[in-house]
A = this chain, B = another copy of it.
Amino acid sequence: MTESAFDYNEHPHRRYNPLTQRWLLCSPHRTKRPWQGGQEKVDQDRPYDPNNSLLPGATRTSGQVNPQYECTFAFTNDFSALLPDTPEGKIGKVEDHDLFVAEAVRGECRVLCFHPRHDLTVAEMTQDEILDIVHLWINNYDELGSKPTINHVQIFENKGTSMGCSNGHPHGQIWSGNFIPEHSRISLESQANYKAAKGALLLEDYAKMEIEAKIRVISSNEHFMAVVPFWAAWPYEVMIMPTPGHHYKSLLDLDDAAQRDLANCIGRVTRRYDNLFECSFPYSFGIHQAPTDGKDYHFGQLHLLYYPCLLRSASTKKFMVGFEMLGEPQRDLTAEQAASKLNAVSDTVHYRKRLTKEEYNAKYIDSA
């Protein structure tokens, strides 16, 4: 692959992300520099707070009371960033790219409770419990996406105080609206261009090449695989995508077996994360899939993205600041080194469970 003495395990280089159409800087020689930075609080303890607004039966700030849910539960965000009834309006001429351009937006935001228990995270859930979350995503994507005013449904999860999430109860969010957010728009444009140029799916071709290369794959089953992308910006960034031969434009295309494999892959990735630094690994997670504006997105492939903020321990965080904000993202550890470290820890036994692999599988995996 290389053409000279240049070795991307050793030498400073840039890599190109074909989804975002952006380069990033990689400085592998620098992985040994000393760290004097701030210490992140490691949030291991999850004491029971009877006033947590996401618990079954809790009264929320709005005065509404949660049902005694026993599985998952979705409700309209009491502090939604988008509202269904914003008046129409525009400033400036969008087509001319004038200097003061704004447009009104409408939408709906939801909170998704993943489990009645306050102290569980996805990494510690059984495959069946994660499958319940997959069903929750599917149902909400379907229901919101069916509304004529909703053209895009963004499912995401912020986990951990260092990702700004103030509530330890396992939960995610949906922001859905009448517009396609920038990262989705650009990712779809990239996939459309690739399909037009090559007659193939960008992410299916990529999945094939990663299986061949081996070094960045951290999990796979029949329908899904997880990799540290060649172009990862965050130290332990991970993407889950369908295996070659499977084309899913959205979660709605998954049959029962594919849904179960997705839950399995999510469980394996999040367990590797927690096991890496023996902490509840903080991340932002989200799903990129077809918009719900009724257009044809045959060129697009469902994929799930993990952007974790830790750098090299439970208490050292990667900051995307300075050069990253003014220039472009930068990382020291290569994607290949990150995959190797993730592969060195278990994806089946969570570090907090004192069980053998067999006992764990019997309890958490094979019960599926």
Contacts and interface: CB of A to CB of B under 8 A. Distances in A.
Interface in A1-42: 1-8, 11-16, 18, 21-27, 29-30, 33-38, 41
Interface in A161-180: 161-167, 173, 175, 179
Contacts of A14: 102-103, 105, 179
A230 B100 contact: yes
Contacts of A167: 36
A46 to B, nearest CB: 15
Assembly stoichiometry (copies): 2
Interface stretch (A78-86, A271-279, A357-365): A78-86
A333 interface: no
A142 interface: no
A94 interface: yes
11 contacts: A13-B89, A15-B101, A26-B102, A27-B81, A33-B79, A34-B61, A36-B166, A100-B230, A154-B327, A181-B327, A286-B323
Given A16-B94, A81-B330, 13 more contacts: A6-B90, A8-B102, A11-B87, A12-B107, A23-B181, A24-B182, A25-B82, A30-B79, A36-B167, A37-B166, A102-B230, A164-B317, A175-B327
